[in-house]
């Protein structure tokens, strides 16, 4: 573990914002802030609720993103990391790629939000999937689920329950495409959920947690946010990914009585992230 005792870390967090239902920025801001890191949000869209609720109102912010980045650049702002999630168009992906070029940072984390359970989300076109690979190649770390890894590599999706060898091959295909460190999330094996990691040095391992209740909206955002916080604070990929897995597990334990659309109940254990990784 390599805890860095600086007081001025900052992360540019490029995600959507939902008014109700915890996900995206309403997860990233409190989680990363709890780890002692300043969060600088760049919203890609605002929604009345997350997409688990029918009839939600959606307003995309592509023009605002461009104007914000121009202003940030004029101020010569600097960040320790760029962390992106849901991007609603190929143009928004291009904006993030442009930002990475204009704001050099030590760490870029991309959660390539494209789909789940074998299907792309309704807003995801073939063009967006191809463009997302361009962004993934710019990242130091990507956190796809199985569906997203298959979309990025044009592989055939079979199920959420794949073997260790199949997980390795999927991660390896992503590296062949030009990606670096891959965290393949949400792999199911019996009563366990595994997050497989393939690093650029070839190190391949899994963090395993017990399945808790049912799957909830926003758990991928929760995992990627805790992972990002750990990496920014200087912890290794192995420690940061284990921290993220454990935090998600314990948040789900606290959520058993809550409606699934509301997301995970993580607020009571935020204080355990103050060092940068989850202290159980």
Per-residue pLDDT of the chain (280 residues; tens, 9 = 90+): 345 556 689 999 999 999 999 999 999 999 999 999 999 999 999 999 998 899 999 999 999 999 999 999 999 999 999 999 999 999 999 999 999 999 999 999 999 999 998 999 888 888 999 999 999 999 999 999 999 999 999 999 988 899 999 999 999 999 999 999 999 999 999 889 999 999 999 999 999 999 887 677 889 999 999 999 999 999 999 999 999 999 999 999 998 877 788 889 999 999 999 999 999 8
Does 5 map to a domain? Answer: no
Does 3 map to a domain? Answer: no
**pLDDT of amino acid 162:** 95
CATH, residue 80: 3.40.1190.20
Does 4 map to a domain? Answer: no
The secondary structure of 225-252 as a DSSP string is HHHHHHHHTT--HHHHHHHHHHHHHHHH
Alpha helices (H) in 104-257, listed in sequence order? 126-138, 146-153, 164-176, 219-232, 237-253
**pLDDT of amino acid 6:** 60
Distances, alpha carbon 150 to alpha carbons 14, 117, 167, in Å: 23, 11, 11
Alpha-carbon Rg for the chain, nearest whole angstrom, is 17
Distances, alpha carbon 132 to alpha carbons 59, 128, 142, 151, in Å: 21, 6, 11, 10
Does 177 map to a domain? Answer: yes
Cα separation, 97 vs 8, in Å, equals: 25
CA dihedral of 266, 268, 274, 277, whole degrees rounded to 10: -40
Does 2 map to a domain? Answer: no
Residue 206, beta-bridge partner list: 196
Boundaries of domain holding 56: 10-273
Residue 64, beta-bridge partner list: none
Does 240 map to a domain? Answer: yes
Instruction: Give the count of domains, the chain.
Output: 1
Does 1 map to a domain? Answer: no
Does 95 map to a domain? Answer: yes
């Amino acid at each position: 573990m390599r805890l860095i005792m600086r007081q001025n870390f900052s992360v540019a967090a490029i995600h959507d914002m939902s008014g109700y239902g915890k996900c995206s920025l309403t997860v990233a801001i409190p989680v990363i802030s709890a780890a002692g890191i300043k969060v600088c949000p760049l919203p890609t869209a605002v929604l009345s609720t997350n997409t688990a609720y029918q009839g939600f109102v959606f307003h995309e912010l592509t023009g605002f993103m461009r104007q914000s980045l121009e202003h940030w650049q004029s101020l010569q702002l600097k960040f320790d990391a760029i962390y992106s999630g849901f991007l609603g168009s190929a143009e928004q992906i291009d904006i993030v790629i442009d930002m990475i070029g204009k704001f050099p940072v030590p760490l870029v984390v991309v959660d390539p939000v494209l789909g789940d359970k074998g299907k792309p989300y309704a807003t995801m076109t073939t063009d967006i999937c191809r463009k997302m690979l361009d962004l993934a190649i710019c990242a130091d770390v990507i956190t796809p689920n199985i569906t997203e890894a298959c979309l990025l590599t044009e592989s055939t999706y079979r199920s959420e329950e794949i073997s260790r060898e199949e997980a390795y091959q999927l991660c390896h295909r992503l590296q062949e495409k030009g990606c670096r460190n891959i965290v393949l999330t949400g792999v199911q094996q019996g009563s366990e959920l595994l997050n497989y990691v393939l690093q650029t040095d070839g190190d391949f391992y899994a963090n395993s947690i017990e399945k808790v209740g049912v799957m909830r909206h926003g758990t991928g955002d929760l995992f990627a946010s805790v992972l990002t916080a750990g990496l920014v604070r200087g912890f290794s990929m192995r420690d940061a990914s284990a921290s993220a897995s454990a935090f998600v597990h314990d948040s789900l334990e606290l959520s058993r009585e809550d409606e699934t659309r509301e997301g995970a109940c993580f607020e009571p254990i935020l204080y355990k992230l103050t060092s940068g990784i989850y202290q159980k």
